[in-house]
Amino acid sequence: MTERRVVITGIGILSPIGNDLDTFWKNLVAGVNGIRTITNFDASGYDSRIAGEVRDFDPKTAFNNPKDVRRTDRYAQMAMGAAKMAVADSGLDLNADSTHRDRFGVIIGSGIGGLQSLSEQIAVLHAKGPGRVSPFLIPMMISNMASGLVSMELGLGGPNMAVVTACATANNSIGEAWRMIKYNEAEAFLAGGSEASVVPIGIGGFAAMKALSTRNDAPEKASRPFDRDRDGFVIGEGAGVVVLEELEHAKNRGAKIYAELIGYGLSADAYHMTSPQPEGTGAARAMKNALDIAGVNPEEVDYINAHGTSTGLGDVCETKAIKRVFGDHVNNGLLISSTKSMTGHLLGAAGSVELAATIFSMSHGVAHPTINLDNPDPECDLDYVPNTAREKKIRTALSNSFGFGGHNATLLVRTFEG
């Protein structure tokens, strides 16, 4: 079967640094930090009291029926908002005769799912008994519901599923949608991830692992990927969804094309539940697989949007992985940056938001900065575009996402050329 080309024609974002595309990009390139003291709940008794929260999002605007807000978790509400933004940005008319809804799929995953709803209903169970548990608990909690709800709301009858690979979720979702379009299982997809884990049990759980930064007195300085003084990641929330289309489908309707998705690589560390393989072999394999599938040489890559979480082990292992794949090219103009330095770690939504950051960097010819990189870790010695954005023509770029469980997923995009 002839493989088909897949392009990205729409983007939707809800993030700690902006709930629309223009605001997101302007803040990203300016190095604006979205991390603050937690406001979702009283976190005064927690070791980590900071997060990247989505502000000024009204979930009622995401649904045709505002009553649906009461039957959905925040992660699904944000997924719906981002999905509709992506459709609007793409210019797709879902009611047009040329849009075959049974060939339009949805893959929107979540690393954790409806954690807030689960937590609240466990409290109800213990306080008031099983008879008072909400009948909506299970559909509010399960991680596939965002994908299902988007298909229902928009009437999209194509392939529908949800990927759950922790912090690699969004990249895997987009990659699997790409694969289905390439092999003629669909014409278009809404794909990405959503996460809303800035809730007491989420913060408590990650803090118990000693994974989170405790720089509570300076939230804006807490997420510092590749910096010697980093002390853990900062949790974030948000959603990112992209519209993927088969090239001819997009051209026939005169769509604007952001970029072409040309490669997708995935691998397993097969090493540890939460720690990366020390030499970065699994991450390197995912990057190499993406390059090999696309037939792209390492020297052709201009930019990498790193996983870059601001953890001691993770940043070093990713640096080693990049060196393993790119060799001497790391010293010949390859730029790398971490979006998480500004947004915090959006977990299952990170990959899609960071792919958007990568695409905007390509289209504007500017690599966004890694902020708070004041004292580089000697073991992290690549060009991470510290603190100030840098102009650069970016034709081919990688975006990395790695997750607990040893999941590694890399997307490879290129400027669209006819």
CA Rg value for the chain? 20
Which residue in the list 167, 249, 368, 380 is annotated as catalytic? 167
Q: Which of 297, 75, 106 is nearest to 186 (CA)?
A: 106
Q: Which of 236, 232, 215, 219 is nearest to 16 (CA)?
A: 236
Bridge partners of 160, per DSSP, are 106
Which residue in the list 100, 126, 249, 345 is annotated as catalytic? 345
Q: Catalytic: 345?
A: yes
Q: Catalytic: 307?
A: yes
Q: What is the spatial distance between Cα 336 and Cα 242, in angstroms, rounded to a whole number?
A: 22
Query: 223 in the Ramachandran plot: left (φ > 0), alpha (ψ -120 to 50) or beta?
Result: beta
Which residue in the list 249, 307, 368, 407 is annotated as catalytic? 307
Q: What is the spatial distance between Cα 353 and Cα 360, in angstroms, rounded to a whole number?
A: 11
Q: What is the spatial distance between Cα 293 and Cα 160, in angstroms, rounded to a whole number?
A: 25
Q: What is the 3-state secondary structure (H, E, C) of 188-240?
A: EEEEEEEECCCCHHHHHHHHHCCCECCCCCCHHHCCCCCECCCCCECEECEEE
What is the DSSP secondary-structure string of 319-386?
Answer: HHHHHHHHGGGGGTT-EEE-THHHH-B-GGGHHHHHHHHHHHHHHHTEEPPBTT-SSB-TT--S---B
Longest dimension (CA), the chain: 65
**What residues act catalytically?**
167, 307, 345
